[in-house]
Amino acid sequence: MAAEGKQHDILLREFGESLKCSEEFYEEGKRLAQRVFLKLQSDSQYSVSSVHFGGSFGKKTDVVEPDLDLVVVCNEVAPPPLPEVLVDFKNVLDTHKTELKISPDPIKKKKRALKFYFQNGIEVDLLPAATIEDADEVIEKIKKDPRMSYYYSPSLVDIQVAFLKSQSEFAHTLIRLVKFWFKSLYFGEKVYGGSAMMELLSVAASEDEEKYESRSMLRAFESVLAIITQLDTLKLAYRSLSDDNDKWERVPVNELQQGNCKQIVLSVVGNKEKLLQKYFIIEPANPFQDFLAEMKPAVINNFKKFAFSTQTVLKLLVDNKRGRDDFIVQLFQPQPSILAHVSTFLAPNVFCIDYAITCSSIVCESKVRKETVMQDKRKKDAIKVLKARIFSTVNAVVRSNPDNVTVNTVREAVKVAIEKTLEVKLVPARDSEMDVALTIPYRIKDEGYAVRFGMSWK
C-alpha cells in the first residue's frame, strides 16, 4: 500500500475506534436497565426471569450513543405476540417513572415493544420474550408461520449477539465506520433493518481482508462500498460452526444457488424458494429473516447511488492526499447534500443556533415546544434528519482530529452543513421562539459543549 494509502488507513481506523460509545454511557445504560429489570421482576404480574441486551449495545457495535434494546424474558407466558405483557409492563413503568429515572414523556406501546427515554436522554426499546430454551424450537415455530418471525426475533437475541461477539476487533471497528456512514444518509423513509444489514456487510468485507498479509481498514471500507453497489445481485448468508455459536462462516455463493437441495437450505435460508430470488441478506440467527425482502427497489437504488458517490469521493481524497484536517469530514458528508426541495421533507424557515453552549449531557436531546409540529410527517422528518446531520458533522469534526479541533472548527462545519442542506443563510433569532430545539453534545479536551439548533415553521 502506498504511503498516502497507509495514512488514510490509519485515519479511518482511528476514527472507527473513536466511535465506540463512552464507558460512562455504557455503565449508565447498564445501571438504569438493571433497575428497570428488577422493578419488573418485583412488580409485574408475570414471572420475569432475565434481561438481555440486544441491538448494537449488546453486540458491541454501538456508534457514539446507541439506544438500548432490552429483551425481558418471561416464564410461563403464551407464545408471541405478547400484548398483555406489554400492557402490564407499561403499567409498572408508568407507576415508577420517577424512581426509575424514566422521562415524563409518554411511554409508547408498539407492536412488540415499549419505547421510552430515560431522563438523561438514553432511548430504550423494551421487548418481552417468552422463555424458549432451544433456538431450534423457535425456528420451528417461525417455520410454521413465517409471518411471526418479527415477534419471535427477541427470543433469538443470544444468537444475534453471539454472532457479532465472535467477530474480530477489526470487524467491529469497520462496522462502526459503515454504520456511521449509514446514519448520514437520507432515503425519504425508514429503512428497517438497515443497521443490522450494515453489520453483516461489514463482516463479509472483514472476512475478505483475512486473505491479505496485513489488514487495511481503507481497503475493507472500500470493499463494503463495492458490495453495496452490487446490492441487487448479492446473496449473503452465514452458518454457525459450533454449538456455542462462537464460530461462523459465510456460506459460499455456489451453495446459495437455485439447484442446491442440501440441508444447508433449511438451516441457513429457511426454504428452497428463497434460492430462486436474485438477492437476499439473511439474519444469521433467523433463516426466515431476509433484510432485503421488503426493501423497495428505490431504497436499494439509493443505497447503490450513495455507495458509488462515496467511492468516488474516497478515491479523490486519497489521490489528492487529503490529510487529517478534512479527510474524515469530507468522506462522511451527508447524502443527498441538499434536501430543501425533497417532497418528503418540509424544511423549517426560522432558525436559532448556538455552536458551543456549556453541556454535561452524554446524549442528544430534542425538545418539542409546539406539539402540532410532530403531527406533520414532513416536519417530523425534517427534525429527525437535521438532528442526524448535525450529529454526523459534529462527530466527524471532533473525533477525526481530537488534538487540534476547536469550537470554531465545529461552528464552521455545522454552519456549512445546515446551510447546504436547507439552501439558506442562518440568521439570529431568539431560542424561546422556536418550535423545536435540538441539542447535540460533544467534548473538546475534556470540556463539555453542545450545538443547540432551534427551528420553526412560520
Is it the case that residue 261 has pLDDT exceeding 70?
A: no
pLDDT value for 76? 83
Round to whole Å and give the CA distance between 66 and 13: 20
pLDDT value for 262? 58
pLDDT value for 5? 74
All three cell numbers of 393, joined, read 458533522
Average pLDDT over residues 218-233: 97
Residues 6+ apart with CB under 8 A from 304: 228, 229, 230, 231, 232
Burial-class residue 358 by CB neighbours within 10 Å (0-12, 13-18, 19+). Answer: exposed
pLDDT value for 432? 67
pLDDT value for 313? 96
Q: How confident is the model at residue 428 (pLDDT cuts 50, 70, 90)?
A: low
pLDDT digits (tens, 9 = 90+) for 74-89: 988 888 889 999 999 9
Average pLDDT over residues 3-12: 83
pLDDT value for 213? 87
Beta carbons of 251 and 261 less than 8 angstroms apart:
no
> From the CB of residue 349, how many other CB atoms can be counted at a distance below 10 Å?
11
Distance from chain centroid for Cα 344: 21
Radius of gyration from C-alpha coordinates of the chain: 23
pLDDT value for 72? 95
CA distances from 222 to 208, 209, 219, 348, 419 (A): 12, 11, 5, 36, 29
**How many percent of the chain have pLDDT more than 70?**
95
All three cell numbers of 25, joined, read 454511557
Is it the case that residue 327 has pLDDT exceeding 70?
A: yes
Q: How confident is the model at residue 271 (pLDDT cuts 50, 70, 90)?
A: confident
pLDDT value for 276? 84
pLDDT value for 326? 86
Round to whole Å and give the CA distance between 165 and 159: 10
pLDDT digits (tens, 9 = 90+) for 202-216: 999 999 998 898 999
Q: Which CATH class is domain 23-155?
A: alpha beta
Burial-class residue 14 by CB neighbours within 10 Å (0-12, 13-18, 19+). Answer: middle
Average pLDDT over residues 13-34: 94
pLDDT digits (tens, 9 = 90+) for 162-204: 999 999 999 999 999 999 999 999 999 999 999 999 999 999 9
Lowest mean pLDDT across 172-176, 230-234, 434-438: 434-438
Round to whole Å and give the CA distance between 305 and 285: 29
pLDDT value for 99? 97
Q: Where are the domains of the chain?
A: 3-18+164-300, 23-155, 337-456
Beta carbons of 426 and 418 less than 8 angstroms apart:
yes
Is it the case that residue 161 has pLDDT exceeding 70?
A: yes
Q: Which of 210, 40, 27 is nearest to 122 (CA)?
A: 27
CA distances from 357 to 100, 288, 361, 390, 448 (A): 28, 48, 11, 15, 9
Which residue has 454501538 as its cell numbers?
A: 62
Beta carbons of 451 and 414 less than 8 angstroms apart:
yes
Average pLDDT over residues 217-232: 97
Is it the case that residue 265 has pLDDT exceeding 70?
A: no
pLDDT value for 210? 83
Average pLDDT over residues 282-311: 95
Is it the case that residue 260 has pLDDT exceeding 70?
A: no
**How many percent of the chain have pLDDT more than 90?**
68
Strands 123-130 and 235-236, by their bridges, are unpaired
Q: How confident is the model at residue 371 (pLDDT cuts 50, 70, 90)?
A: confident
